Amino acid sequence: MSSRHRSQDSAPWPPSLSRRTVLVGAAAAPAAGAAAPLAIPSPAAADPTKPYKALLSVDAKISRLRRRWARLEAHLSDELRSSPAGSEPESLRGAQELRDIDGMIELLLERRAALLEKLPTKGAATLEELIARLAVAERLIWNDDHLEAQTLIAGTRQDLASWLAHGRLPRA
């Protein structure tokens, strides 16, 4: 017996949705939205820092994968040196994970390059956008090659964020 009871004077229940119906509807939703756009702008579309945050998010994923790759490579190297010749299958599984990580990093680097090409380089609308732009510049500069420039950009970004947090901008 169903747990959905209907009293005699109530309206009928809508038909139950199958998992397949929900998945098909979710997949079709973007196409339906493109066919009939809404006139109300979304808050995310009005956020001028969104493209910078997207790039920083992709960059953070790349950094995490590179750290994982380095840890796994070190572990496999230690394992190969200390294990007898018969323990090769564990190394093969680790090697497969290294290849998987390489593939993910490659895709993310392509995505980061595409996002970087689309970033506005001038005409910031808000102080938040300037801070986000400096955060991207800070991430793009290699500490080993240009420590002074990276430090200058990081300090400028921090100063602007502090001014914004305190609601004051210094006068010239």
pLDDT in tens, 133-145: 999 999 988 877 8
| CB neighbour list of residue 149: distance below 8 Å, 6 or more residues apart | 141
pLDDT in tens, 122-135: 888 889 999 999 99
Range ranked top by mean pLDDT from 27-36, 81-90, 143-152: 143-152
Structure confidence at residue 3 as a pLDDT band (50, 70, 90): very low
Work out the average pLDDT over 14-42. 47
Contact 94, 76 (CB under 8 A): yes
DSSP state of 12: P
Contact 109, 115 (CB under 8 A): no
Structure confidence at residue 69 as a pLDDT band (50, 70, 90): very high
Of 145, 54, 150, the residue nearest 108 (C-alpha): 54
pTM of the model: 0.64
Listing DSSP states for 20-46 in one string gives: HHHHHHHHHHHHHHHHS--SSPPTTTT
Number of Cα atoms under 13 Å in the Cβ half of residue 143: 3
pLDDT in tens, 6-27: 444 444 444 454 444 444 455 4
| CB neighbour list of residue 55: distance below 8 Å, 6 or more residues apart | 112, 115, 116, 119, 136
List the single range of 65-69, 144-148, 152-156 with lowest mean pLDDT: 144-148
Q: What percent of the chain is modeled with pLDDT above 70? A: 67
